[in-house]
Structure formats: structure tokens, C-alpha cells
Amino acid sequence: MLNIGCHLSVSGGYKNMGETALSIGANTFQFFSRNPRGGAAKAIDPQDAENLITLMKENSFAPLLAHAPYTLNPASNDERIRAFALDAMSGDLQRMEMLPGNMYNFHPGSHVGLGEDKGISLIIDVLNTVLFEDMTTTVLLETMAGKGSEIGRSFEQLKRIIDGTKLNGKLGVCIDTCHIYDAGYDIVNNLDGVLHEFDDVVGLTRLKAVHLNDSKNIFESHKDRHEKIGEGSLGLETFKKIINHPALRGLPFYLETPNETDGYKEEIALLKSLYEVN
């Protein structure tokens, strides 16, 4: 089975997202843990969360993916921004326990002139503070395009963060197809080679999710601009290879393309038509 979903709005509640996912042919979805530009998180209705859990069990959902706000930057040179990252991640991970066994994705951050080593150290410090022993959520580091001083542009940087974190059994990686192509990993012409490199550096057992996004940019542009599936520089054939690759086909895939719900429904149907049932 192709485990496929897209980013959905949490404004209507948790069960509503599950119902929307089913209506567009999805069996998972991604949502923001709080306002993507920061701020306080919306209170969770425990009954709403339970209703979603029931719906997921009844319909064989793959794990959900909560996405941290874009403003979250644990590597910042600004102490206030780092404090927000710490508070937001800590609160989000506590709240995620109302939806046990799912995943939480975040952009590792940008060191903003502090240097890669210091930025990675600050990210590790935050993770060592917010992760806790009995949490059921897997926290995912997202691969980044490498614009500016972004951390996460290379597999080696992700590996350093994972190795430096005490409870790193709680950590995994989310590959974003647009980001790694823009970062210089040629998944169009050498998908096998990129995955072998990831396995050598990080380990495929750490790979827990894939963001499916085409790219508006040329290879190694370091710009990060998503495009609809098959309409960018990656092309439709690349996505056919990705969803059918033996190392990837069992993972959950999440669309973050520039679409509304109807557009996501069309993309999900397209990808399902390309999926090869063994």
C-alpha cells in the first residue's frame, strides 16, 4: 500500500483532518503543531484527539506528521529566538502525547553567523532538553536546501546532531525531495547513489518519512521553492522511482506542493497510478 497524504489545516480539528484525508484518498497527513509563524498553540480537545485515533485505527492510517513552526530556530544567535524554540518544542512534544506513536518534524535551524559547529551544538542542547525517556513521538530532522546559513544541508550535519543527542533513539530524518535536490543530492539521475550515501552516513533505519515536492529550481541551487509533482526540475519519472524504491516504498509520503485540497487529491491519485503493487 502507498502511504500517502498531504499538509492539512488543523483549524477544523483533528478528526476533521482525518476525514478530509480520507475524502482525498489519503491514509495519513501532516499538520502544523501551532501557527507556522510562531505564537501560542491552540488547545487540544481530548475527545477530538481520541476520535481521530479511532478513525485512524479503523482506516489503517500510516503515522501522522506534525510540523514545527517555520520561525523555530534552535541554532539562532538571538537568545530570545532560541528560547522560543525551546519552549515551543517542549510544549509541542508534550501535546503530541495526546496522539501517541506519531512523528514531529522540524527544520534544524540557521546559525546566522555563529558558524556550523556552534549552530549544531545549540541544536543538540535544545534536543537534550526537550526529549524525554517515555515519549512516544519520533522527532525528525528535515533535510534542508542550504540557503544562507541553514543547517541540515548535508547528511553529515544531520549525523552530527543525532550523534550528539543523548536520547537519539527518539530521532529520525525526514527527506524533502525538493530540499535535497536543491542542496546538491542528485535524486533525478542517481537516486540509488544518494540513498547509499545516506545509509553510509546516517543509516536508512533513521529515515522515517519523505516530503514529496517537485522543485522550481535547478540542481544545487540552494533556494527551496516547491513545485507541483511533475511540473518542476525533478519530473514525474523521479517521483515514480521514489515511491517504488525498495528502501522507500514502505515509508509515509507527505505532499507539500503549492496546492489546495482538490489539487492534493489529484496528485494523490496520480501517485497511486504510478505505484507498483508487488
- For residue 67, indicate whether it is catalytic: yes
Is the pTM value of this prediction over 0.95? yes
Per-residue pLDDT at 219: 97
Is 224 in the active site?
yes
Active-site residue (options: 7, 34, 95, 107)? 107
Annotation marks residue 196 as catalytic: no
176 noted as active-site residue: yes
Do the Cβ atoms of 184 and 220 come closer than 8 Å? yes
The catalytically annotated residue of 211, 214, 264, 267 is 211
**pLDDT profile of the chain (278 residues), mean per 10:** 97 96 98 83 91 98 96 94 95 96 97 95 98 98 96 98 98 98 98 98 98 97 96 98 97 98 98 92
Q: Report the sign of the C-alpha dihedral through residues 108, 113, 117, 122, in that order.
A: negative
Closest CA relative to residue 238, chosen from 195, 174, 207, 277: 195
pLDDT at 277: 85
Neighbouring CB atoms inside 10 A of 189's CB total 9
Annotated catalytic residue 82: no
Tally of structural domains, the chain: 1
Cα dihedral value 182, 185, 186, 187, nearest 10: -100
CA gyration radius, the chain: 18
CATH of the domain at 184: 3.20.20.150
- pLDDT recorded at residue 218: 96
Per the annotation, the verdict on 256 as an active-site residue is: yes
pLDDT in the model for residue 35: 82
- Is 142 a catalytic site residue? yes
For 93, the domain range is 4-274
